[in-house]
Chains A and B, each alone.
Chain A
Amino acid sequence: MNSIISIESLTKYYGKFLAVSDISFSVNKGEIFGLIGPNGAGKSTTMRSILNFIKPTEGKITIKGLDSQKDYIKIRNLIGYLPGEFSIYDNLSAEEYISHILHLRNKSNKIPNLKNLAAMFDLDLSKKSKKLSKGNKQKVGIIQAFCHDPEILILDEPTSGLDPLKQQEFEDLVLEFKNQGKTIFISSHVLPEVETLCDRVAIIKNGQIIAEDKMADLKKKSINRIEVQFSKDFDVDKLRKNIGISKVTGDSNKYTFDIEGNIDKFIKELANHEIENLKTIEPDLEDIFLSYYREQKG
Chain B
Amino acid sequence: MSVLAWFIANWSAVLIPLAVFTVALIAMFWLRRRGRVWLFRWVRRTKWQADSILVAALDGPSLMWCLILSALLALMVSSVLAEWKDAAVKVLWTLFLASIALSVVNVLSGLVGFYGPRIKLPTRSVLLLQNVARILIIAIAFLIALDIWGVPTTPLLFLIGVGILAALFGFRDAVPNLVAGFQLGASQLIRAGDYIKLETGEEGYVTDVNWRTTRILALDQSTIIVPNSRLVQGRVVNYGRPLKKAAAPFRFNSRTHLTELTGMKASNLKELADLLRQVPDSVIYYHTHHFFEEHHQLTPELSNDFAIWASDALGEDVLGESLASIDTFAFPNMAALRDRLIGIIEDYSSKQLYPRQAMEGRAFYFMKSVSVVLPSRYVVHDLREFVEALRKITPGSLYFHMFESRLRLGQGRNDFSIWLDENLGDKELADEVAHLDPYTYTLEGLRSALIQLIEKRIK
Chains A and B bind each other: no
A positions within 8 Å CB-CB of B:
none
